[in-house]
Amino acid sequence: MAIKIYVPKDATACSVGADEVATALAARAGGRAEIVRTGSRGLFWLEPLIEVATPAGRIGYGPVGAADVPALLAAGLLEGAAHPLRLGVVDEHPYLKSQQRLTFARVGIVDPASVADYVAHGGYRGLERALAMSPAEVVKEVADSGLRGRGGAAFPTGIKWKTVLDQAAPQKYVTCNADEGDSGTFADRMLMEGDPLSLVEGMTIAGLAVGATQGYIYCRVEYPESIAALRTAIAAAHAAGYLGASIRGSGRRFELGVRVGAGAYICGEETSMLESLEGRRGEVRVRPPLPAIKGLFGAPTIVNNVISLATVPVILERGAEYYKQFGVGRSLGTIPLQLAGNLKRGGLVERAFGVTLREVLEDYGGGSVSGRPLRAVQIGGPLGAYVPASQFDTPLDYESLAAIGAMLGHGGIVAFDDTVDMARMARYAFEFCAIESCGKCTPCRIGSSRGVNVIDNLLAGAQPAEQRRLLEELCETMIQGSLCGLGGMAPFPVQSALKHFPEDFAPRGRH
């Protein structure tokens, strides 16, 4: 049997040279070893991180450049031999070993294109169990697990599913929101590239649970690698009888398609996404009606994030009781945190809710990559609050963050060192909102542009007290008056910057 070498095909790994490493390995060791392209383990500072299967486990080397390949092979890479880039058994790496990977259990390990590999690593056990249950029982299992929407809104997934189940309709849909536009987030991308079949399985279970026969994954166009991985996985699932007219011979149908976005952040908002799926401008809908009652093409529709859906298989496989052992209070289960920005060891950390921000930034992140003190952290994407160093001991769960006026969102954590100009970041929050506003409601469309002006005026020093009052009032107007979370939350980073870093807003004259 040929020795297996695992080389990530993950977009981040490829952005730092993984394809070149795979090519170099194929050229020099292709006859002796089989090269398997996987997702990433999420230790991004070590990418490209390659692994070789040995009797002692998978031995990692990284970061490996294509130029390192000849020396690695000469040193005995195929036997897992010593080399300065050798990391040891990857599963034993402290960054990974201390994690609680439920949703990401297979990411970076399996061949994302192979149903056989997926099944060999525990895949489709959840679906097999769901096929033997009634729809209401499946919905109850998800509800009992405590799973809440991982896209950011944290709405209980089981309640959403129950609403769709309870609708009598000839057609229902399951849609997956894979429009992961928040800066500092990449969990959806990693999952789709590294273990797309878990998403396919989760959506199939959702279809069985609520009586939907058609699913759509709405993936952003900025993720071409994810789109390709999803399409390959769906074709493989079809060929193996896990999708189609009779799933595993059960006589129950579920079809799944991928739809591609077109560069609109707002389409991460669920009703905009539905508009876009229907072929229209991604303008938000007024709710009610809820999508669960009247969603895609007017039919009852589940709209769930990638991580929520990809977590369903493990809940069905291990049971709700198992899943809810993790976490704290009403934040049950695990959350894939994404460590981004100015950190030494950026990457993916899946832990039970309740780990503190400081543990994440210091124990995993290793502090700033620049070597300077961390000054602020933005949690939950461009609409999330900036958290100052004095609040780094806050536990990461929905309720604890809400208590300090912040939010977990989709789990993105972007760290900034002490060179950050918080007035500039506040201005950017408005600028981004202006660029991405769908234009339907005035507070968001006009308010965001006015916000940029007001911050400019404030910094220019003309009537600063008056500008400051205007800015606070504008934030309040947008929060109260916007139709959706874009205009309604864009003021959060601004308000938090004003509150925690007022010194950055001192007039500085024209520049």
Footprint on this chain of another protein (rule: CB under 8 A) = 11-12, 14-16, 44-45, 47, 180-186, 189, 221-224, 259-265, 276-283, 297, 338-343, 346-347, 369, 378, 382, 412, 414-417, 420, 425, 428, 432, 435-436, 438
Q: Which residues contact 446 (CB under 8 A, 6 or more apart)?
A: none
Q: 436 by DSSP, 3-state: which?
A: helix
Q: Which is nearer to another protein, 290 or 369 (CB)?
A: 369
Quickly list H helices, 319-421: 320-323, 357-358, 398-403
Choose between 139 and 343: whose C-beta lies nearer to another protein. 343
Nearest distance in Å: CB 347, another protein: 6
Q: How many CB atoms lie within 10 A of CB 462?
A: 11
Closer to another protein at the Cβ: 146 or 380?
A: 380
Which of 48/313 has CB closer to another protein?
48
Shortest Cβ 424–another protein spacing (Å): 8
Single-letter code of the amino acid located at 224: P
CB of 342 to another protein, least distance (A): 4
Question: Residue 162 CB: number of other CB atoms within 10 A?
Answer: 18
Q: How far is the CB of 90 from another protein (least distance, A)?
A: 18
Q: How far apart are CB 379 and another protein at their closest, in Å?
A: 11
**DSSP code of 284?**
P
Smallest separation, CB 42 to another protein (Å): 9
The torsion defined by the Cα of 391, 397, 399 and 402, in degrees rounded to 10, comes to 50
As measured in angstroms, the least distance from the Cβ of 276 to another protein is 6
Backbone angles phi, psi at 351, to 5 degrees: -140, 160
CA pair distance 106, 201, nearest whole angstrom: 13
Residue number with CB closer to another protein (33 or 230): 230
Q: Name every residue whose Cβ is closer than 8 Å to that of residue 394 and which is 6 or more positions away in sequence.
A: 356, 357, 387, 400, 401, 404, 406
Question: Residue 196: is the preceding peptide bond cis (ω within 30°)?
Answer: no
- Residue number, 104 or 265, with CB nearest to another protein: 265
